[in-house]
């Protein structure tokens, strides 16, 4: 293709006499006359000093810029937002977390669409950055590559951010004093990078690589490493090749590619948020991915990774033995992945994996198929009278496969956390946290503080927690989230009362409120929808437009 063919979007902005004002603006930001004849590549950077996940991404954006320029393009760096779940968790501010995914997607779409970029490289760190970047690029459907900012290294004593959250519960239990908590706090986050276990950031990075939207190896690199700098440089160059070959996100993000991503997430024991985000990403390219796909693929995909939060190892330790490429090669050879799916290399997944070496024989992070952590998926889709439209449980088997208990009901995360720390929650309870769904919260907060407090209090195997909110990738224990219909929409969760019996069965995939229909009908007759918590601003807009968790919590589902 000629440069003219590659410039079908930017040429509308910079070509001709009538575009002279625009060219004048661009000259002020560094364009030379020859740059107007080059394809323009937008570099979407999520850099901010808000969080260690993103604090280094400005340098990575410069690497991508250089790679694109050297390959014959003219790169333009622009920023989108990030928020920090690790800082906001347990506060009202966490309601903006999922909302930020939509803001990121909207901003990338708006900037790239307005400025006429011919291709896009997006670099994300914290977990909402990643699906937000993919959704924004997918809507535009211009040649695009996602780059993961990379994982953090472990803190002293093999600690990480979840160690700090659980230390709060251990303090409440009397196992740690304030000085000991402070000692963990001071060493757990040693520098740049996303949270270090198979939490949501590393889960989504792995899913996006398996989907084919990142270069091979991008998901398993330390944030501060030569490999990560090279990954960004190569991505800048690779998007020019995608332009030349006219390969777009819709060519890559097919149903079969999403099936690959789902199966890799399961094998890695990834975050429940992957369910929400993969459904949302598929919606952006009109691919039908639903909870039923997670059930179907979960039945035939084992959990193979012994990674935190439920396992022992951190992502940096998986990086050291080869990352996820050898795992995908094993899965491909076993017939678990679709090798014919196109990727951003311009080659198929099978071609990318052809020369990948296996893991060292001595490693025990990734189990063999003959000795899985769990023979089928840890992401269990539940249905029943409490979740007629579905719910998502994260059950590795270490927590048991069934739980029956007595409801302990809280109408917000703050009330639940207080009740857990003050000793209201006891063995045999099912903690119910409601009015935290996409519309009711609004924003579907992560219940990391309550789940960490339960673990820290030593109740991880004796208490279940269910919610119409969601969970951090760092949450573990017997937990069920994404309950739909949510309480705010009149789902049965809104009618649960203290002392009701609840039964959860991961084997039959049922979640049931064991209360007579006549009693529930009486409660239904008395129930009134609570007033919206926000009437202006981003949270009010999200509450008004958000689809249910079973449809990814997206804000542009109008069919």
| pLDDT tens-digit map of 263-273 | 999 999 999 99
pTM for this structure? Answer: 0.97
Q: Supply the mean pLDDT for the chain.
A: 96
Task: Say if residue 4's pLDDT is above 80.
Answer: no
Q: Under DSSP, is residue 59 helix (H, G, I), strand (E, B) or coil?
A: helix
Task: Say if residue 399's pLDDT is above 80.
Answer: no
Task: Say if residue 559's pLDDT is above 90.
Answer: no
**φ, ψ at 332 (rounded to 5°):** -60, -45
Quick check: 228 and 221 in contact, CB under 8 A?
Answer: yes
446 and 507 part of one domain: yes
State the Cα angle at 26 between 20 and 31, rounded to 5°: 110
Quick check: 160 and 64 in contact, CB under 8 A?
Answer: no
340 and 426 part of one domain: no
Domain ends where: 353, 387, 421?
353
Residues 6+ apart with CB under 8 A from 337: 210, 260, 263, 264, 328, 331, 349
Domain membership of residue 362 (yes or no) is: no
Task: Say if residue 378's pLDDT is above 80.
Answer: yes
Q: How far is CA 116 from CA 4, 236, 318, in A?
A: 14, 17, 39
Domain membership of residue 158 (yes or no) is: no
Residue 1's pLDDT is 64
Q: Each residue of 11-31: pLDDT tens digit?
A: 999 999 999 999 999 999 999
Task: Say if residue 398's pLDDT is above 80.
Answer: no
140 and 235 part of one domain: yes
Catalytic residue, chosen from 100, 218, 219, 472, is: 472
- The domain total for the chain is 2
Quick check: 343 and 252 in contact, CB under 8 A?
Answer: yes
Q: Which of 200, 205, 278 is nearest to 473 (CA)?
A: 200
Domain ends where: 338, 353, 368?
353
349 and 385 part of one domain: no
Quick check: 235 and 67 in contact, CB under 8 A?
Answer: yes
E strand segments, 230-322? none
Radius of gyration of the chain (CA): 23
348 and 453 part of one domain: no
209 and 338 part of one domain: yes
Q: What is the CATH number of the domain that holds 495?
A: 3.50.30.80
346 and 486 part of one domain: no
Quick check: 387 and 477 in contact, CB under 8 A?
Answer: no
What does the alpha-carbon distance between residue 60 and residue 83 come to, in Å, rounded to a whole number? 19
321 and 391 part of one domain: no
Q: Each residue of 42-62: pLDDT tens digit?
A: 999 999 999 999 999 999 999
Residue 172's pLDDT is 86
Task: Say if residue 397's pLDDT is above 80.
Answer: no
Task: Say if residue 5's pLDDT is above 90.
Answer: no
Task: Say if residue 426's pLDDT is above 90.
Answer: yes
Strand order in the sheet with 40-45: 74-79, 40-45, 119-124, 144-148
Phi-psi category of 143—alpha, beta or left, where left has phi over 0 and alpha has psi -120 to 50?
beta
Report how far Cα 188 is from the mean position of its chain's Cα atoms: 22
Q: How far is CA 149 from CA 57, 172, 214, 325, 440, in A?
A: 6, 35, 12, 18, 32
Residue 348's pLDDT is 98
Q: Each residue of 270-285: pLDDT tens digit?
A: 999 999 999 999 999 9
426 and 513 part of one domain: yes
Q: Which of 169, 422, 473 is nearest to 309 (CA)?
A: 473
Q: Each residue of 362-377: pLDDT tens digit?
A: 999 999 999 999 999 9
Domain membership of residue 536 (yes or no) is: yes
Task: Report the percentage of the chain scoring pLDDT > 90.
Answer: 93
Helix (H) or strand (E) holding 120: strand 119-124
Strands 501-505 and 402-410: antiparallel
Residue 400's pLDDT is 82
What does the alpha-carbon distance between residue 171 and residue 177 come to, in Å, rounded to a whole number? 6
The yes-or-no answer on residue 472 being catalytic is yes
E strand segments, 377-423? 379-384, 387-394, 402-410
Place of tokens 């992502």: 315
Please tell me which residue, 73 or 1, carries the higher pLDDT value: 73
Phi-psi category of 170—alpha, beta or left, where left has phi over 0 and alpha has psi -120 to 50?
alpha
329 and 435 part of one domain: no
Q: Which of 66, 92, 476 is nearest to 239 (CA)?
A: 66
Residue 62's pLDDT is 98
Domain membership of residue 369 (yes or no) is: no
Domain membership of residue 533 (yes or no) is: yes
437 and 498 part of one domain: yes
Q: Each residue of 94-105: pLDDT tens digit?
A: 999 999 999 999
State the Cα angle at 458 between 453 and 460, rounded to 5°: 75
Residues 6+ apart with CB under 8 A from 331: 263, 264, 267, 337
Residue 176's pLDDT is 96
Domain ends where: 353, 387, 406?
353
73 and 147 part of one domain: yes
Domain membership of residue 101 (yes or no) is: yes
Domain membership of residue 383 (yes or no) is: yes
Average of per-residue pLDDT across 517-533? 97
**φ, ψ at 28 (rounded to 5°):** -65, -25
What does the alpha-carbon distance between residue 290 and residue 322 come to, in Å, rounded to a whole number? 31
Domain ranges, residue 8: 3-15+40-153+192-353
Task: Say if residue 488's pLDDT is above 90.
Answer: yes
Average of per-residue pLDDT across 536-553? 98
Residue 118's pLDDT is 98
DSSP class of residue 356 equals P
Domain membership of residue 120 (yes or no) is: yes
What does the alpha-carbon distance between residue 205 and residue 179 come to, in Å, rounded to a whole number? 35
DSSP class of residue 376 equals S
Residue 266's pLDDT is 98
What does the alpha-carbon distance between residue 445 and residue 467 come to, in Å, rounded to a whole number? 10
Q: Which of 504, 502, 434 is nearest to 470 (CA)?
A: 434
Q: Each residue of 134-184: pLDDT tens digit?
A: 999 999 999 999 999 999 999 999 999 999 988 988 998 899 999 999 999
Q: How far is CA 514 from CA 462, 464, 483, 520, 549, in A?
A: 19, 16, 17, 10, 24
What does the alpha-carbon distance between residue 184 and residue 173 come to, in Å, rounded to a whole number? 16
pLDDT band at 389 (very low <50, low <70, confident <90, very high): very high
Residue ranges of alpha helices (H) inside 342-469 are 349-353, 413-421, 448-456
């Amino acid at each position: 293709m000629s440069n003219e063919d590659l410039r079908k979007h930017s040429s509308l902005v910079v070509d001709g006499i009538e575009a002279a004002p625009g060219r004048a603006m661009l000259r002020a930001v560094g364009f030379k006359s020859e740059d107007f004849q080059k394809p323009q590549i937008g570099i979407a950077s999520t850099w901010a000093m808000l969080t260690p996940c993103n604090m280094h991404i400005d340098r990575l954006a410069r690497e991508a810029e250089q790679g694109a320029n050297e390959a014959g393009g003219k790169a333009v760096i622009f920023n989108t937002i990030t928020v920090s779940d690790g800082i906001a968790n347990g506060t009202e501010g966490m309601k903006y977390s999922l909302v930020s995914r939509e803001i990121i997607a909207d901003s990338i779409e708006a900037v790239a669409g307005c400025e006429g970029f011919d291709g896009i490289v997006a670099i994300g760190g914290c977990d909402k950055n990643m699906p937000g970047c993919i959704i924004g690029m997918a809507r535009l459907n211009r040649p695009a590559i996602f780059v993961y900012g990379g994982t953090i290294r472990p803190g002293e004593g093999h600690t990480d951010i979840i160690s700090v959250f659980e230390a709060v519960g251990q303090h409440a239990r009397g196992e740690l004093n304030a000085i000991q908590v402070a000692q963990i706090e001071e060493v757990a986050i040693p520098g740049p990078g996303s949270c270090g276990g198979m939490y949501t950031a590393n889960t989504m990075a792995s899913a996006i690589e398996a989907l084919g939207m990142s270069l091979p190896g991008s998901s398993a690199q330390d944030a501060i490493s030569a490999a990560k700098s090279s990954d960004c440089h190569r991505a800048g160059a690779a998007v020019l090749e995608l332009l030349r070959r006219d390969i777009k996100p819709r060519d890559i993000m097919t149903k079969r590619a999403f099936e690959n991503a789902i199966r890799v997430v399961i094998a890695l024991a990834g975050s429940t948020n992957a369910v929400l985000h993969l459904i949302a990403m598929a919606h952006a390219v009109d691919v039908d991915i639903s909870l039923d796909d997670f059930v179907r693929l979960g039945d035939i995909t084992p959990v193979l990774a012994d990674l935190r939060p439920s396992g022992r190892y951190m992502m940096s330790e998986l990086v050291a033995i080869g990352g996820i490429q050898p795992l995908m090669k094993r899965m491909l050879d076993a017939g678990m992945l679709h090798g014919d799916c196109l990727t951003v290399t311009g080659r198929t997944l099978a071609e990318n994996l052809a020369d990948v070496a296996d893991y060292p024989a001595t490693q025990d992070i990734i189990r063999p198929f003959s000795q899985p952590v769990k023979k089928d998926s840890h992401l269990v889709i539940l249905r029943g009278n409490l979740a007629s439209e579905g719910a998502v449980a994260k059950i590795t088997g270490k927590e048991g496969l069934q739980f029956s208990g007595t409801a302990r009901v809280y109408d917000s995360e703050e009330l639940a956390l207080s009740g857990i720390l003050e000793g209201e929650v006891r063995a045999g309870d099912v903690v119910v946290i409601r009015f935290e769904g996409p519309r009711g919260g609004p924003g579907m907060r992560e219940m990391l503080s309550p789940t960490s407090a339960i673990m820290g209090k030593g109740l991880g195997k004796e208490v279940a927690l269910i919610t119409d909110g969601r969970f951090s990738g760092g949450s573990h224990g017997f937990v069920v989230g994404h309950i739909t219909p949510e309480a705010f929409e009149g789902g049965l969760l809104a009618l649960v009362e203290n002392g009701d019996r609840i039964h959860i069965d991961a084997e039959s995939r049922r979640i049931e409120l064991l209360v007579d229909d006549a009693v529930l009908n009486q409660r239904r007759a008395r129930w009134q929808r609570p007033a919206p918590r926000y009437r202006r601003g981003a949270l009010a807009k999200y509450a008004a437009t958000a689809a249910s968790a079973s449809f990814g919590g997206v804000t542009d589902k109008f069919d």
